[in-house]
Amino acid sequence: MDSIVQTIPGWQNDFGMGFNQGTFVTLGVTLLICVMLRLWLKVMISKSFMRFGIQQKIAVQAIRDSSGTLGTAAATGLLAVTLRGMVDAASVDGSSVMLPELIETLLLPFTELVFYAAIVIWAFRLVPAVYAIVDRLDGDGDMEGTTKTLISALESVMRFVIVALGAVLIAGALGFDLSAILAGLGISGIALALAAKDSISNMFGAITVLLDRPFKVGDWVVIGSSEGEVIEINLRTTMIRTSIDSVVTFPNATLVNTAIENYGLRRWRRYQPILHLDLESDPDAVETLCSQILANIQGNEKTTKKDSSFVRVRSLGPQAIDIACNLYWDTSSSTEEQELKQIFLLNVMRIAQGLGLHFFEPRVRRQVEG
């Protein structure tokens, strides 16, 4: 710092207020550079982030709001480093740096405080941009429910960590004893952990569920004696909506050690209807019916595992001819599965009517016998 001050013409001249001319000019130039640096970073940071193709409004707003704060942090950081160098240089005997005591006792601590506060505010404001970054890396534009929940949990954890570390840094800048603060936080943390052990267990359970992904929002699952659609995965609980429209809430800690059957992860859907034909049906017509139904199954583009598909007479019952069908559909949608069932059954009806076959009806049988 001495060498920088001595490069200024007339640096030894007394400027007043405890400054010599060299120190005052150095400080003034540093302040000018800090202002320019803040303005430049505010513009360049936004442009740099926009190059990633981020389009979500919340992320764009977060980046714009945080850019100025990061510029402030960089500017005050540079100013704090410069002031610290001046203060250290001025404390050496014979130094060319002259400073009033107000710089060391007031301006330097204030600058450091603003620097730490700006860093904390910048990080806090930038947290919503996590969603946009993950969405950008995901690539398909359709983020799964578990990913959204994981991002929400990650944002909550990040905010907590930012506030906790920021409080420690700001307390240090204000001159508090950090060792006493950390010790107090440790004791308080232990007490808090003991009091909230169930909540912590549920939180870790949620993290396990979100990372392992045994199910996602929208899947139809069976958990214990409950069956339904997953509607929410929170940090503490997971909720499913049953077929009778009730909502069952599970603590996430219990899901870690509970068997979960997920119908949403099925690679295909199996369908095994039993057709009942009248006992008086023509055997040749029944055989033709089986062949045509099987051909219909084989010709359906949504059918999979075709080698395992069959349509056969299973038994001759006391009242009806039972025909067993076995087929598989390549679909993961319950709605589409119901549509495929309807198409299949209507085609079976058309084939049976074309062959003059009738399905067994107990009421008709009783009327004839009566």
Question: For each of the chain's 370 residues, which pLDDT tens digit applies?
Answer: 656 655 666 556 666 666 777 777 778 888 898 888 888 877 777 677 666 555 566 666 667 777 778 888 888 888 888 888 877 777 776 667 777 777 778 888 888 888 888 888 888 877 777 666 666 655 555 555 556 666 666 776 777 788 878 777 777 777 766 566 556 656 555 555 555 556 666 666 767 776 777 888 788 889 888 889 888 877 778 889 998 889 999 888 888 788 888 887 777 888 999 999 998 899 999 999 999 999 999 999 999 888 999 999 999 878 899 999 999 988 877 788 889 999 999 999 999 999 999 998 775 554 444 4
20, two tokens: 């010599």
67/39 Cα distance (integer angstroms): 10
316/180 Cα distance (integer angstroms): 86
Structural domains of the chain, with CATH? 2-141 (no CATH), 144-265 (2.30.30.60), 269-369 (3.30.70.100)
257, two tokens: 């050690």
- pLDDT score at 141: 54
Side-chain half-sphere CA neighbours of 35 within 13 A: 5
Measure CA 260 to chain center: 21
- pLDDT score at 74: 87
Name residues whose C-beta falls within 8 Å of residue 118's C-beta, 6 or more positions apart in sequence: 69, 70, 72, 73, 76
Distances (CA, A) of 245 to 216, 228, 240, 241: 19, 9, 9, 6
32/333 Cα distance (integer angstroms): 63
Question: DSSP letters of 51-91?
Answer: TTT---HHHHHHHHHHHHHHHHHHHHHHHHHHHHHHHHHHT
Helical H runs in the chain?
2-6, 21-50, 57-90, 101-102, 108-126, 129-138, 145-173, 178-195, 197-212, 252-255, 283-299, 334-354, 362-369
User: Residue 144: which of 202, 203, 215 has the closest Cα?
Assistant: 215
175/154 Cα distance (integer angstroms): 32
- pLDDT score at 350: 95
151/210 Cα distance (integer angstroms): 10
- pLDDT score at 191: 56
- pLDDT score at 369: 47
Distances (CA, A) of 325 to 81, 293, 345: 81, 9, 11
Helical H runs in 196-282?
197-212, 252-255
- pLDDT score at 38: 84
Exposed / middle / buried, residue 236 (Cβ in 10 Å: 0-12, 13-18, 19+): middle
Cβ atoms of 22 and 9 within 8 Å: the answer is no
pTM (2 decimals)?
A: 0.49
Residue located via tokens 């062959």: 355
35 residue type, one letter: V
Cβ atoms of 356 and 285 within 8 Å: the answer is yes
Cβ atoms of 207 and 156 within 8 Å: the answer is no
Measure CA 81 to chain center: 39
- pLDDT score at 357: 93
**Residue 265 DSSP label:** G
- pLDDT score at 370: 47
76, two tokens: 């005050």
